[in-house]
């Protein structure tokens, strides 16, 4: 089976390509430009030559990229922007994540692909499970920001394309992904732990679900051809929920460092964070976000090949040994 992969040079993309190759699939990476294509060639040398598609927008020409593809894994997206400059952020997210995704699905159906696996986000469910059960695919969607809204709208558009064309669609909503090559907030946390920065989070008693990149890649590769996956939406995680303190201790141990966790009144933390416009960041560190993987485990028989602690330790060692370089 030939599988086309968007975002193949990205953090999850390279893991997904390797998981597909390990299952015996032929992989065609799709890249935004020549620099992305060069990264794919270096990171996944056993794949087919990458095809450059440009930006993923409402008028992208997918003809050459999807020629002969039996399935598509769609990872590329406009993700959360720290310093947003778009005049209308929701419209910017919709152009890539909604209309770009719909165009890809329509083109895949016309080109003869049988299935499209879409990587959405747990943000479709909401921002926090503090005081409520873990998120699952059975919950009513409750996205709270432009990124989450655009992902939910894309899921709805994919269902419509599938109903109209017969293209089988599979949606996976992962929580925070960890592993070697990570960026964003986890990379920033690794830097703080490595520097020995005191972190006032010793009293935080939250629970958070994460998913290792290897685990997510394994699930995506399974969803490409498992008969029971067609038309389904799945929430999934490592299966071991950690507090923020446990997360930091695991990272510190993996780097051979001491976790410098200090107690601090949560009310004071919130006042200080709000004063500096960091209330949302504090919520991510101190709030709970748990994900229920029951459906994907029971329906597909999926079991995460990597434990949460093993995956986090591997990420920490990568950072310590490679300095955060990919």
Structural domains present in the chain: 2-178+212-238+290-304 (3.40.50.720)
CA distance 115 to 112: 9
Residue 218 DSSP SS3: helix
Which pLDDT does position 326 carry in this prediction? 58
pLDDT tens over the chain, length 326 residues:
999 999 999 999 999 999 999 999 999 999 999 999 999 999 999 999 999 999 999 999 999 999 999 999 999 999 876 566 777 889 999 999 999 999 999 999 999 999 999 999 999 999 999 999 999 999 999 999 999 999 999 999 999 999 999 999 999 999 999 999 999 889 999 999 999 999 998 888 899 999 999 999 999 999 999 999 999 999 999 999 999 999 999 999 999 999 999 987 777 677 666 665 666 777 777 899 999 999 999 999 999 999 999 999 999 999 999 876 65
Q: Name beta bridge partners: 233.
A: 171
E strands in 81-237? 115-119, 168-173, 176-178, 210-212, 233-235
Active site residues: 147
Q: pLDDT tens for residues 68-109? A: 999 999 999 998 765 667 778 899 999 999 999 999 999 999
CA distance 12 to 9: 8
CB atoms within 10 A of CB 161: 21
CA distance 18 to 5: 11
Mean pLDDT of the chain: 93
CA distance 112 to 269: 54
């Amino acid at each position: 089976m030939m599988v086309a992969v968007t975002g193949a040079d990205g953090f999850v993309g390279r893991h997904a390509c390797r998981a597909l190759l390990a299952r015996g699939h032929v992989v065609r990476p799709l890249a935004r430009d020549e620099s992305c294509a060069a990264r794919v060639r270096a990171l996944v040398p056993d794949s087919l030559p990458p095809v450059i598609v440009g930006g993923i927008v409402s008028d992208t020409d997918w003809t050459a990229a999807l020629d002969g593809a039996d399935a598509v894994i769609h990872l590329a997206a406009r993700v959360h922007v720290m310093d947003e400059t778009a005049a209308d952020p929701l419209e910017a997210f919709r152009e890539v994540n909604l209309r770009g995704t719909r165009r890809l699905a329509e083109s895949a159906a016309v080109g003869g692909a049988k299935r499209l696996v879409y990587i959405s986000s747990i943000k479709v469910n909401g921002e926090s499970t503090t005081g409520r059960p873990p998120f699952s695919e059975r919950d009513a969607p409750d996205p709270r920001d432009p990124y989450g809204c655009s992902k939910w709208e894309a899921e709805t558009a994919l269902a419509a394309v599938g109903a109209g064309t017969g293209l089988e669609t599979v949606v996976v909503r992962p929580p925070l992904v960890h592993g070697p090559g990570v960026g964003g907030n986890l990379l920033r946390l690794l830097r703080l732990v490595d520097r020995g920065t005191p972190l006032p989070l010793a009293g935080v008693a939250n629970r958070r679900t994460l998913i290792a990149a290897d685990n997510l890649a394994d699930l995506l590769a399974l969803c490409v051809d498992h008969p029971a996956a067609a038309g389904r939406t799945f929430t999934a995680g490592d299966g071991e929920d950690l507090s923020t303190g446990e997360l930091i201790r695991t990272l510190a141990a993996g780097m051979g460092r001491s976790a410098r966790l200090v107690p601090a009144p949560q009310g004071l933390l919130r006042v200080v964070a709000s004063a500096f416009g960091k209330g949302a960041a504090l919520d991510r560190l101190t709030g709970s976000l748990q994900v229920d993987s029951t459906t994907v485990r029971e329906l597909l028989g999926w079991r995460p090949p990597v434990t949460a602690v093993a995956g986090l330790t591997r990420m920490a060692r990568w950072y310590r040994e490679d300095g955060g370089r990919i």
